[in-house]
A and B are shown apart, each in its own frame.
Chain A
């Protein structure tokens, strides 16, 4: 069998498993963490870091073979139990079944990381209804089903909870991805609302909003547009998946215990300077 080729974007699994981290080894010892969309990219990086910090992981995603492969590696990194389950967050019944299985298996959950989501680059004028609905349904509705499903279970158990959703840095809009901008902005402000409504249940709700992070997700864009991603912020480089994983851990760990309703932007300053055109820059803007 040929060795797996190094992915073109983002670190290979071996590199990911040994990336330096600022956190102490046993920070999440025996805590239970759910990561959705953990089969690749940012989600996999988040799951890897929690595993290295000793967490028991429950992962979900649409592709069973990717999840199974990831789960094996997580078990090696954590030395602990890993549960994986293929499903789509777009289906509330799937979400309910998944969460019930996780709670049955582990008894409870400490952290929910809503990472699953996606988008494709296109100018808004060209969106189809189907394309629009798909993005909103996954990123906004799907994240919501997961949030409410977890919160109901925490409330039923009278246990504290912690939700972190991966969204996007949307303060200046995201040209070429209007659908995802709408869905992610929805989640950012949903989280702020829930942070208040669910404070009586001791559930913290926060978001991490990545800018241009080099990951397997870059494959979703046309190759000729990818080089511009490293010029869309004043640091003139892309972030790495570990940047997002460490932001999530900061919020999920006791370090974030007085942080709720916050959107932590990890984007190198992209909202302050730079242009991001994942679908190509229209001639009009070449000034």
Chain B
């Protein structure tokens, strides 16, 4: 396998130092969507190293099947794979049933699946808008509710971590995903309250510019500027996001609920992020 253009290859990812103790997720079952590449894969790698049993889903069966053996090598005692799209509520339901049948439990749901493409809002097509909202907002919601219903019905506590984006200053060049992710952030706050009686915690992690295979979808000129979009003047690593997710999912986060943990090097405070090429108007 050649080194990917962006992000860490599997060996580098597997060797990232972690702050967490070995065995932290022993006997726990963690479901990660979009685990075949990028941030999702990094999250799956870290949970595997901490001993979790894993269920991974995504659209590309080949990628998932290539990832699964690696997760077992890293320490996951059982890896369940299902290809599906979170955009289809029936497929989400079938996935959840399959996970419960296979493991008899689910402890953590990491809603990582999602995506967007750079486009000035004025140019967005109806289909483009709907595709992003349908995946990032609706798909995430189907997963959240399907998991919560089963936790409620089994009388088991639950834990949801959604991967979103820092939306505090908007997301110029990606209005569709800004709307969808903001929706998820406030959805999470709302169900953090509604589902507290079921002992289900709901939180989000909002990554800023994290160098991952996802960078290939942006114009090279924009990618070159990504590291100047925060006061640290660098991009983050997929492992930074994985460690944030584990913090919230583990007992360390047991009194954190309805929170969005921003991991962005301060980009919501300073910096000018354009995922499209920066319009001349803003070159001041």
Residues of A within 8 A of B (CB): 20-25, 27, 192-193, 195-196, 199-200, 211, 213, 233-236, 239-240, 243, 246-247, 249-250, 253-255, 257-262, 264-269, 271-273
Contacts A20-B251, A247-B252, A272-B189; A254 near B231 (Cβ below 8 A):
no
B255 touches A258 (CB 8 A): no
A23 touches B21 (CB 8 A): yes
A255 touches B240 (CB 8 A): yes
> With contacts defined as CB atoms under 8 Å apart, how many contacts are there between chain A and chain B in the complex?
136
CA distance A207 to B32 in the complex (A): 29
Q: Which residues of B contact A273 (CB under 8 A)?
A: 193, 196
CA distance A250 to B249 in the complex (A): 13
B266 touches A261 (CB 8 A): yes
| B6 located at the interface, meaning its Cβ lies under 8 Å from any Cβ of chain A in the complex | no
A254 touches B19 (CB 8 A): yes
Contacts A235-B257, A255-B247, A259-B262; A272 near B192 (Cβ below 8 A):
yes
Residues of B within 8 A of A (CB): 17-22, 24, 189-190, 192-193, 196-197, 208, 210, 230-233, 236-237, 240, 243-244, 246-247, 250-252, 254-259, 261-266, 268-270
**B242: shortest Cβ distance to chain A, in Å?**
9
What would 12 more interface pairs be, CB under 8 Å, given A250-B244, A255-B18, A272-B257? Answer: A22-B251, A24-B19, A24-B22, A213-B255, A234-B257, A239-B255, A254-B17, A258-B237, A269-B192, A269-B193, A269-B257, A271-B258
A258 touches B21 (CB 8 A): no
Q: List 23 A-B contacts (CB under 8 A).
A: A21-B252, A22-B247, A22-B250, A24-B19, A193-B269, A199-B266, A199-B270, A211-B255, A246-B247, A249-B19, A250-B244, A255-B243, A258-B210, A258-B236, A258-B263, A258-B265, A261-B231, A261-B269, A268-B255, A268-B256, A268-B257, A269-B258, A272-B258
**B137: shortest Cβ distance to chain A, in Å?**
19
B19 touches A269 (CB 8 A): no
Contacts A22-B20, A255-B244; A265 near B256 (Cβ below 8 A):
yes
Q: Which residues of A contact B256 (CB under 8 A)?
A: 243, 247, 264-268
**B112: shortest Cβ distance to chain A, in Å?**
17
Of the candidates B19, B190, B237, the one whose C-beta lies within 8 Å of that of A250 is B19
B268 touches A261 (CB 8 A): yes
Q: Which residues of B contact A258 (CB under 8 A)?
A: 208, 210, 232, 236-237, 240, 263-265
